[in-house]
Chains A and B, each alone.
Chain A
Amino acid sequence: MSLRKRSLLYSNTMKTKENRVSTASAARPGIYIHIPFCVRKCFYCDFVSYSGCSQEAQKKYFESLDREIAFKFPGTEKHKFRNGGKTSEAEKRIPAQAPPAKTAYQPLCADSAADTLFVGGGTPTSVDPRYIAELVSRLPLTNDAELTIESNPGTLTPEKLDIYRGAGFNRLSIGVQSFDDGELRLLGRIHDAAEAEKTIEMAREHGFDNINLDLMFGFPGQTLDSWKRTLDKALSFRPEHISFYSLQIEEGTPFYDMFRSGELEQIPDELNRDMYYAAVSMLLEHGYVHYEISNASLPGRECRHNLKYWSMIPYIGLGAGAHSFDGSTRMSNSAGIDEYCRLTESCSYHTGMHCRYSGSLSIESKDEAFREESENSGCQDGSGYSFERETTDDLISDFMFTGLRLVRGVSDRYFRKLFGISLEERFGEQISKYTSEGLMTFENGRLAFTGRGLDIANSILIDFI
């Protein structure tokens, strides 16, 4: 069977239970909602996020999100799936074979409700919590779904926490970054260490038993000792999950300019790696599982939503700049808030979406249909909704470079199932080169980086894309 045919099989895999891949959760899609608002933009942040937006603008944005949900999940508005955190009758009714028969638009995974929701930003907790609760109530989610909301210390109150809990959120991610006040100021954070501690305790008190702390290392001024102190402090709360990111200097951020002008200086790579290893070993000592380059959790507490990104599972993105993947095509919404809002109002958005998915059966014909439609339908280029055609080679690249981020690596069995070819057939040369150099391991049907391999992952990944 040719590669191309296999890939078609792959997109079907996502829709039929019989062919479902390894884990049960893997087959269901995730939903991501982007909240592009924050109190103040941090110096390193290049996410789609805007500070100082009026109440009016925020309200308008949530109305747009509403329209996008109505459009992407037709028929769901009747149901209140979640109600005050209690399981309702409605919940049991999902998923029906959702799409109305005559709707040409095929919702991404209409036949299965999502089992993860991630509300990210920006700072989702900086806006009126009722907006978010309202949105969540309209989404098709399974009753055991993981619902995460991102937050920053200084934006949470007991009232807000109760509303989130009531809306069904069972996982809270807190952007702590550091427990050193000087460092927090340098990063442009709005909170201090004491506030972060208070926030964590408060979250615990309000029933969040699945908490992630975001920590950052490798920024100027930080020392190995101060980093270890931050880790110690974080571990003292025994969060279920810890993300530890090396600072990345992104163009268009204040940090970028400061580094370019020489105002700030990058720390040496050696020190950066020492910090990374310190984190990994401390986390391991405390019983955490290091499961992704920058993520560790207590056993069984991996972030199920993020795992989808790294395992080729479809996800539906809602909101400005949000990305979606339906198993064969990657799409993104316009990143500008105004443009995003405008497009959800105009019918061209709907038309555009509508035709982009009409009755396409193969990747190729889908792509053609997209192109034809965008040329003919008056939903011009730059309608703010862009998509990227993924060929089988693209999908294989994605599979490798996302999957290899996981410490356990990629599974040969899963790879064969998706692409009809074994890892060795496809990447034999690379595998033997990198395993012999001690940068990768290929054992028990899994290809993975070694510790040293992870450090220089990009230089290796380019041979797999």
Chain B
Amino acid sequence: MDSYQKYIRNFSIIAHIDHGKSTLADRLIETTGLVAERDMKAQFLDNMDLERERGITIKLQTTRLHYEAEDGHTYVLNLIDTPGHVDFNYEVSRSLAACEGAVLVVDATQGVEAQTIGNVYLALDENLEILPVINKIDLPSARPDEVKDEIEEVIGLDAQDAPLISAKEGINIEDVLEDIVQNVPAPEGDADAPLRALIFDSYYDNYKGVIVYSRLFDGRVKKGDIIRLMSTGADYEVTEVGVFAPGPVPVDLLRAGDVGYICGSIKHVRDARVGDTVTLASNPAKEALPGYRQVRSMVYCGIYPGEGEKYDNVKDALEKLQVNDAAFVFEQENSAALGYGFRCGFLGLLHMEVIVERLEREFELAVITTAPSVIYKVVKTDGSIVMIQNPSNLPPLTEIDHIEEPIVKAEVIIPNEYVGAVMDMCQKRRGTMISMEYLTETRVELHYELPLNEVIYNFFDELKSRTRGYGSLDYELERYEPSKLVKMDILLNKDIVDAFSMIVHESEAYDRGRQVCKKLKDIIPSHQFEIPIQAAVGNKIIARETVKALRKDVLAKCYGGDISRKKKLLEKQKEGKKRMRQFGSVDVPQEAFTAVFKYDEDEGK
């Protein structure tokens, strides 16, 4: 450690949802005078509406604070925000890898919760010093002493000296800052060694190009240097380096221990991958930093312009989203039912939901999403292999030798009272239990191998529902495995609607077919004729429901001269019909597409 590094602290804040992570971050920023109070938006770091609303962080924010500690020295505190969901676990782990310590916020009323533990394990994996902080002590129901004991018992961290704070009321915020200064280790690393900087995020700026967020472990970097990204070997000239205050502020030099940004002539965020190591072309490091993993889309779905929406508008919006989201991919596709649209790849279901919601809210687009699907490996009879993520593209049955599906290694952490319920659920979803371990007396970690297609079909929702929100899930791709998979089609009025087609395990086809038909029956309104809804595997009908023909739809009375009111009723009816999607002569409400793939509470029972 050199004298420069001595006064630097790099840390994250981790917490269960709603325990006050963002509020504490705001308060730290405010206390250290970085942002004038009047400029404070509630929860400064979560800068997307969606994030604020859902209380989750999707896009990282990083900021540098200056704090004059009680020892009289001014410290540079780099606060690195972390995203908060299983889909983004890899990003979380890279953010944490950029730190030496983590502030663990625990709600004084709620105590230790599922995500508290999940996050602690992630932080421990990166060997971080963890500083517990008890928040919300201003609430009448706060029970800080019990919560302290809980932290010690459940997590095994010494919490007796944990600061007792209220981020909301600004109580004891200085204690947290002192705690960080005193207990988070200063960064180490050799500023004279070859450059090694960890990329933990990046985003696209219209003026600067891609801004790469990085933590320097060794060496230095400055404007004019030629950097090399070690996973791709690509070289770029550095046009600017700087720090976050919280907006980008250029500096002359970044050196080992610093957290900052590097701009080069990098065109796309996907060229600067999270977890990659930046080095100098002139004096490259011998070894990259550990932990790099290429992020791959695991879940795919079709996104189509909704009724009255323009294809080009959707395309523009997707392009804009992709600029800042290396994990999101899309390409054009064509559906017989829905016309021109896009096949999009995501890290997981939440990632997918976030993108769809952003399309709807930020871009005000009406879109239809089709069933999420994983990538199947189809081995054809001639020995060739095709990867399929759209059920419609499945080759004819006669050409298929067998199909393989992705299997994931899943870790589920739950309170012990739910073990039975969760094991039952994993069983039903074709899971194989590998092991079970008690993390504490009351916390259990289950290790399962599960088909990914079972995980993306509302696994998370069902887990939450079965564990009252206490279950947490992490998974990663393990391998492909042959499986008895079939393509199930849905026919409306005898015509296949390709947007509803899905690949399911043979053993589940009947159940899923019945569920989907039933849901569609409830959603599709009566028409002037009877509509059969059928689920079929190949030529075999496996489930059927019927939407009865409209029997009566007539205004009994229409006089007294009040034509306008009756006309308004008809116009309303007409509007409702217009908003539906037409398949042949059948009108399908747009919500049908998502409803069909949503988990119902009573479904699992």
Question: What is the interface of chain A, defined by CB distance below 8 A to chain B?
Answer: 32, 47, 120, 245-248, 269-270, 272-273, 293-294, 306, 309-310, 315, 317, 322-325, 330, 332, 388, 397-398, 401-402, 405, 437, 439, 454-463, 465
Task: Evaluate contact between A458 and B553: CB separation under 8 angstroms.
Answer: yes
22 A-B pairs (CB sep. < 8 Å) = A245-B556, A246-B552, A248-B557, A270-B551, A293-B555, A293-B556, A309-B560, A310-B558, A323-B560, A330-B563, A439-B528, A455-B550, A457-B555, A458-B553, A458-B554, A458-B570, A458-B573, A459-B528, A459-B553, A460-B528, A462-B571, A465-B574
Given A248-B555, A269-B551, A456-B552, the answer on whether A462 and B570 have CB atoms closer than 8 Å is yes
Does B192 count as interface, using CB distance less than 8 angstroms? no
Closest CB pairs A-B (n = 5): A269-B551, A323-B561, A462-B574, A246-B556, A269-B552
> Residue A461 contacts which of B551, B556, B570 (CB distance < 8 angstroms)?
B570
> Residue B556 contacts which of A248, A306, A310, A460 (CB distance < 8 angstroms)?
A248
Chain A contacts for B558, CB-based, 8 A:
293, 309-310, 402, 405
Query: Closest B-chain residue to A322, C-beta based?
Result: B561
Task: Evaluate contact between B560 and A247: CB separation under 8 angstroms.
Answer: no
Given A323-B560, A323-B562, A437-B528, the answer on whether A455 and B567 have CB atoms closer than 8 Å is no
Chain A contacts for B564, CB-based, 8 A:
323, 330, 332, 388
Does B577 count as interface, using CB distance less than 8 angstroms? yes
Chain B contacts for A455, CB-based, 8 A:
550-554
A294 to B560, CA, bound (A): 14
Query: Closest B-chain residue to A386, C-beta based?
Result: B564
A272 to B550, CA, bound (A): 13
A173 to B564, CA, bound (A): 24
Task: Evaluate contact between B570 and A120: CB separation under 8 angstroms.
Answer: no
> Residue B551 contacts which of A273, A325, A457 (CB distance < 8 angstroms)?
A273
CB distance from B156 to the nearest CB of A (A): 55
Task: Evaluate contact between B555 and A120: CB separation under 8 angstroms.
Answer: no
Chain B contacts for A402, CB-based, 8 A:
558, 563
Given A439-B528, A462-B574, the answer on whether A457 and B554 have CB atoms closer than 8 Å is yes
Given A456-B528, A456-B553, the answer on whether A401 and B570 have CB atoms closer than 8 Å is yes
A406 to B141, CA, bound (A): 70
Task: Evaluate contact between B557 and A398: CB separation under 8 angstroms.
Answer: no
CB distance from A138 to the nearest CB of B (A): 20
A232 to B224, CA, bound (A): 101
Does B579 count as interface, using CB distance less than 8 angstroms? no
Does B559 count as interface, using CB distance less than 8 angstroms? yes
A270 to B556, CA, bound (A): 16
Number of A-B contacts (CB under 8 A): 100
Task: Evaluate contact between B561 and A245: CB separation under 8 angstroms.
Answer: no
Given A120-B560, A460-B528, the answer on whether A272 and B552 have CB atoms closer than 8 Å is yes
> Residue A47 contacts which of B528, B529, B560 (CB distance < 8 angstroms)?
B560
Chain A contacts for B552, CB-based, 8 A:
246, 269, 272-273, 455-456
Query: Closest B-chain residue to A248, C-beta based?
Result: B556
Main SS at interface, chain A: mixed
Task: Evaluate contact between A317 and B574: CB separation under 8 angstroms.
Answer: no
A317 to B567, CA, bound (A): 18
A456 to B559, CA, bound (A): 19
A168 to B86, CA, bound (A): 83
Question: What is the interface of chain B, defined by CB distance below 8 A to chain A?
Answer: 527-529, 550-564, 566-567, 569-571, 573-574, 577
CB distance from A65 to the nearest CB of B (A): 16
Task: Evaluate contact between B563 and A398: CB separation under 8 angstroms.
Answer: yes
> Residue B567 contacts which of A245, A397, A456, A460 (CB distance < 8 angstroms)?
A397
Chain A contacts for B571, CB-based, 8 A:
462, 465
Query: Closest A-chain residue to B562, C-beta based?
Result: A323
Task: Evaluate contact between B562 and A332: CB separation under 8 angstroms.
Answer: yes
Chain A contacts for B561, CB-based, 8 A:
32, 309, 315, 317, 322-325
Task: Evaluate contact between B554 and A456: CB separation under 8 angstroms.
Answer: yes
CB distance from A384 to the nearest CB of B (A): 16
Chain A contacts for B569, CB-based, 8 A:
458
Query: Closest B-chain residue to A247, C-beta based?
Result: B556
Given A397-B567, A439-B528, A460-B528, the answer on whether A454 and B560 have CB atoms closer than 8 Å is no
Having A293-B556, A325-B561, A401-B570, one finds 7 other A-B pairs with CB under 8 Å, namely A120-B560, A293-B555, A315-B561, A317-B561, A325-B563, A455-B553, A456-B554
Chain B contacts for A325, CB-based, 8 A:
561, 563
Chain B contacts for A294, CB-based, 8 A:
556-557
Task: Evaluate contact between A401 and B566: CB separation under 8 angstroms.
Answer: yes
Chain B contacts for A458, CB-based, 8 A:
553-555, 569-570, 573
Query: Closest B-chain residue to A243, C-beta based?
Result: B557
A47 to B567, CA, bound (A): 17
Task: Evaluate contact between B553 and A309: CB separation under 8 angstroms.
Answer: no
A294 to B570, CA, bound (A): 18
Task: Evaluate contact between A309 and B563: CB separation under 8 angstroms.
Answer: yes
Query: Closest B-chain residue to A30, C-beta based?
Result: B561
Chain B contacts for A32, CB-based, 8 A:
560-561
A288 to B95, CA, bound (A): 84
A463 to B574, CA, bound (A): 8
Chain A contacts for B563, CB-based, 8 A:
309, 323, 325, 330, 398, 402
Chain B contacts for A460, CB-based, 8 A:
528
> Residue A454 contacts which of B550, B554, B567, B574 (CB distance < 8 angstroms)?
B554
CB distance from B284 to the nearest CB of A (A): 70
Query: Closest B-chain residue to A321, C-beta based?
Result: B562
> Residue A309 contacts which of B527, B529, B559, B573 (CB distance < 8 angstroms)?
B559
Chain B contacts for A245, CB-based, 8 A:
556-557
Query: Closest B-chain residue to A323, C-beta based?
Result: B561
The CB with the most chain A CB atoms within 10 A, among B559, B564, B567, is that of B559
A456 to B571, CA, bound (A): 15
> Residue B570 contacts which of A306, A322, A465 (CB distance < 8 angstroms)?
A465
Given A401-B567, A437-B528, the answer on whether A457 and B553 have CB atoms closer than 8 Å is yes
Chain A contacts for B556, CB-based, 8 A:
245-248, 293-294
A309 to B527, CA, bound (A): 29
A49 to B553, CA, bound (A): 27
Chain A contacts for B555, CB-based, 8 A:
248, 293, 457-458
A309 to B559, CA, bound (A): 7
Task: Evaluate contact between B573 and A462: CB separation under 8 angstroms.
Answer: yes
CB distance from B298 to the nearest CB of A (A): 44
Given A247-B556, A294-B556, A325-B563, the answer on whether A459 and B550 have CB atoms closer than 8 Å is yes
Chain A contacts for B527, CB-based, 8 A:
459
CB distance from B417 to the nearest CB of A (A): 38
CB distance from A283 to the nearest CB of B (A): 16
A248 to B557, CA, bound (A): 8
A248 to B561, CA, bound (A): 17
Query: Closest A-chain residue to B555, C-beta based?
Result: A458
Chain B contacts for A398, CB-based, 8 A:
563, 567
CB distance from B281 to the nearest CB of A (A): 68
A460 to B561, CA, bound (A): 22
The CB with the most chain B CB atoms within 10 A, among A120, A270, A322, A458, is that of A458
A363 to B569, CA, bound (A): 24
CB distance from B493 to the nearest CB of A (A): 14
Chain A contacts for B570, CB-based, 8 A:
401, 458, 461-462, 465
